[in-house]
Amino acid sequence: MTWLITGGAGYIGGHVVRAMTEAGERTVVYDDLSTGIAARVPDGVPLVTGSTLDADRVAAVLREHDVAGVIHLAAKKQVGESVEQPLRYYRENVEGLRVLLEAVTEARVPSFVFSSSASVYGMPDVDLVTEDTPCAPMSPYGETKLAGEWLTRATGRATGLRTACLRYFNVAGAASPELADTGVFNLVPMVFEKLTEGAAPRVFGADYPTPDGTCVRDYIHISDVAEAHVAAARRLAAAPEGTDLTLNIGRGEGVSVREMVDLIADVTGIATPAEVTDRRPGDPARVVAAADRIGTELGWTAKRDVREMVESAWAGWQRQHPEARTRPRG
């Protein structure tokens, strides 16, 4: 069977395509290349340029490549930008998904994996976030991901489409330097950027009710995320009609911002004291996944630790930024 991977030229998408290909699955990538990079797509994997809003083009790629499963990763994903441009985010993330699902059901494609996010939970006041924790997203981005889950599940109930909604926690790292994230929107690359500039990394708030006063998050290596997609795709392909899964992808272990900044300093050899600034509005003190359900459902568990995430991300950052410096310690 052939799997269509929308957004397959992106940071997460490029890793998913590689993992699927290495696992022996046939894939085709569909990406508008607005943020994706064509070079991320492995040799031998077809790349079709197009938007999920283009119903005719989506239908054509499903038909021409005899697609039997879809992994839908294409989406706008910047929280701050979504606050400024909510209409754009709802159009791209929700309407684009609706168009895609309509084409999928008309083509009788039986399996659909939806890329969701821990942002659907908002600010959960729990030690571990389970898949049953109430969802209360705090940004238009998070809202579009939750609406996407609703739409995916409803389509599955109505048509028998097998579905899996995968909620990523904090993704970091790279399988190889050329696949590294090129954006600077998450903690690890944000710290890299400051260190490369010779500036102090920023810590937003150090007065949270956590052991060291900084926010605690669940970081997951991108290669583990990619392997979870392979497991989900294979589970759906072998599952009965109407299968509906909603699963966290995390390690189930919390790392504070201060701990992560200190680890980055150790890996890079650039020990610049962090600057503590005011809290950012809407940042919860702790968001850590309960990661047992995915193990039960897919037989998947995270294999890589936080140091591997930082080391691999740093190698990718240096490839993109030759000016990045490593200063001797002491």
Q: Which CATH number do you get for residue 261?
A: 3.90.25.10
Do the Cβ atoms of 248 and 225 come closer than 8 Å? Answer: no
Say whether both 137 and 231 belong to one domain: yes
Using 70 as the pLDDT threshold, list the residues of the chain that sit under it: 325-330
Q: Which of 119, 298, 314, 131 is nearest to 217 (CA)?
A: 119
What gap in Å lies between CA 145 and CA 147, rounded to an integer? 5
Say whether both 90 and 208 belong to one domain: no
Say whether both 101 and 18 belong to one domain: yes
Q: Is residue 202 part of a domain?
A: yes
Say whether both 227 and 162 belong to one domain: yes
Say whether both 163 and 32 belong to one domain: yes
Catalytic residue selected from 11, 141, 208, 219: 141
Q: Is residue 296 part of a domain?
A: no
Say whether both 79 and 112 belong to one domain: yes
CA 91 to chain centre: 20
Q: Is residue 23 part of a domain?
A: yes
Say whether both 132 and 203 belong to one domain: no
Q: Does residue 141 have an active-site annotation?
A: yes
> Residue 329's pLDDT is what?
42
Say whether both 70 and 59 belong to one domain: yes
Q: Is residue 117 part of a domain?
A: yes
Q: Which CATH number do you get for residue 75?
A: 3.40.50.720
Say whether both 148 and 225 belong to one domain: yes
Do the Cβ atoms of 52 and 97 come closer than 8 Å? Answer: yes
Q: Is residue 295 part of a domain?
A: no
Q: Is residue 133 part of a domain?
A: yes
User: Which pTM was predicted?
Assistant: 0.96
Say whether both 241 and 256 belong to one domain: no
> Residue 283's pLDDT is what?
86
> Residue 330's pLDDT is what?
39
Q: Is residue 10 part of a domain?
A: yes
DSSP string for 245-276: EEEEES-S--EEHHHHHHHHHHHHS--PPPEE
Over residues 53-95, the pLDDT tens digits come to 999 999 999 999 999 999 999 999 999 899 999 999 999 999 9
Residue range(s) defining the domain that contains residue 73:
2-171+220-249
CB atoms within 10 A of CB 92: 22
Give the total number of structural domains in the chain.
Answer: 2
What gap in Å lies between CA 232 and CA 225, rounded to an integer? 11
Say whether both 52 and 82 belong to one domain: yes
Do the Cβ atoms of 96 and 50 come closer than 8 Å? Answer: no
Amino acid (one-letter) located at 312: S
Q: Which of 98, 106, 100, 93 is nearest to 159 (CA)?
A: 106
DSSP string for 165-200: EEEE-EEE--SSGGGS-----SHHHHHHHHHHHT-P
Q: Is residue 328 part of a domain?
A: no
Say whether both 177 and 29 belong to one domain: no
